[in-house]
Amino acid sequence: MDFRQIASTELEAMGAFRSPWLRPAFHAVDREAFAPALFWSPTADDDGRYPVLDRERDENGWRRTVWGTHASLITQIDDGAVRPEDGPALVGGDFTSSISALDIAYEKLNHLDLEEGRRVLHVGTASGYDSALLCERVGEERLTTIEFDPVLAAWGEKNLRAAGYAPTTVCGDGLAGWEPTAPYDRIIATCAVRTIPDAWRQQAAEGALILAPLTTAYSPGALMKLTVRNGVASGRFVGPAFYMLARSHRINRQLNPPDSKTKTASAISPATVLDRDWGQDFAIGLHTADISMSRRGEGEMRQAQLWSGDGTCVTIVNYEDWWKPRAVTVYGPRNLWAEVVAGFTRWCVAGSPHYTRYGLTIDESGTNLWLDHPEQRVDQ
């Protein structure tokens, strides 16, 4: 069965080849050359494990998954501490590298507005698949691709060379960019960030585009598309983008709150704030500072836990009887639930805008969040 042709037909039907260079690039780059012989499915089985796809044992199933339009290939868990050779992985480990699903990868590349001859910085080489596609468009001599993880960097470079591509490959911190081949007409990240690094803006050519998944501590992210003019980067969110965070931007999960606590009531049902769609969560995250959130328990035991970026403040809110005086437990000087409710309220007062109405302007003075146009700044 020709799985590549099936994928091509599906991508065509969903409009993934809106940029005319993507169709020939898709057919020129063999995705199988960038997929490892063993990788995990991102969907857990009935036993709560992520199955391993093994080319040697089931080549047909392996190839079907590699060319699947909607499934990512998980190539690393817990920074390599878990190995696919050891079999299915238990739910609970963190996915730390993957080959993005075809529909996600191509939708992102459509936003890049990439013309021939542009100089490109690709942050997050990993397997090298996206870098190969970019080489097909701009030429290997105009692409710099950088990967933080030494094992992934070596793997990605090996894959690229074996497939006949020789861009500038760097093992280093992509958040610092790569000055030797700057300035860049396009900077694209295939890892998520919580803030846009100054180095990207500083290494961008006049009129350059920066395209990166931007997340908040509170919620997974959205795709940010910025244009750089006169040293100022400005643009808006253009779609969802659930990517793994750059390592230095990962959420802190080490909590160290004081033992003392206070109890209070909630001003609003937690379900109203927490149990809507991802878009609402992301918008709330834009209105809060450094607050992370997780849900736990079921039924009468259902709770939400919130914690500050430094781990010194923790707040736990009960869904059940939320209006009672002991429904919210606060550790540390900040009532994080009250801060989230305040962010939710600001979003509601603004008319509950869709997240694509938000944008960012970034200059030497910092980052400003805005709604609809840069002059309409939003307090965070």
Question: Which residues are marked as active site?
Answer: 100
End-to-end CA separation in angstroms for the chain: 52
Tell the residue number behind the tokens 């700044």, with chain if given: 377
Residues 353 and 84: their CA atoms lie apart, in Å, by: 42
Q: For position 380, what pLDDT does the model report?
A: 67
Q: For position 276, what pLDDT does the model report?
A: 86
Residues 6+ apart with CB under 8 A from 222: 213, 214, 215, 237, 238, 239, 240, 241, 282, 355, 356
User: What is the three-state SS of the chain?
Assistant: CCHHHHHHHHHHHCCCCCCCCHHHHHHHCCHHHHCCCEEECCCCCCCCEECEEECCCCHHHHHHHHCCCCCCEEEEEHHHCECHHHCCEEECECEEEEECCHHHHHHHHHCCCCCCCCCEEEECCCCCHHHHHHHHHHCHHHEEEEECCHHHHHHHHHHHHHCCCCCEEEECCHHHCCHHHCCEEEEEECCEECCCCHHHHHCEEEEEEEEEEECCCCCCCEEEEEEEECCEEEEEEEEECCCCECHHHCCCCCCCCCCCEEEECCCCCHHHHHCCCHHHHHHHHHHCCCCEEEEECCHHHCEEEEECCCCCCEEEEECCCCCCCCCEEEECCCCHHHHHHHHHHHHHHCCCCCHHHEEEEEECCEEEEEECCCCCECCC
Q: For position 379, what pLDDT does the model report?
A: 76
Q: From the CB of residue 364, how many other CB atoms can be counted at a distance below 10 Å?
A: 9
Q: For position 273, what pLDDT does the model report?
A: 96
Residues 120 and 208: their CA atoms lie apart, in Å, by: 10
Tell me: cis bond preceding 42? Omega within 30 of 0 counts.
Answer: no
Could you read off the pLDDT tens digit of each residue along the chain, which spans 380 residues? Answer: 799 999 999 999 999 999 999 999 999 999 999 999 999 998 899 888 999 999 999 999 999 999 999 989 999 999 999 999 999 988 778 999 999 999 999 999 999 999 999 999 999 999 999 999 999 999 999 999 999 999 999 999 999 999 999 999 999 999 999 999 999 999 999 999 999 999 999 999 999 999 999 999 999 889 999 999 999 999 999 999 999 999 999 999 899 999 999 999 999 999 999 998 899 999 999 999 899 999 988 888 999 999 999 999 999 999 999 999 999 999 999 999 999 999 999 999 999 999 999 999 999 999 999 999 999 998 76
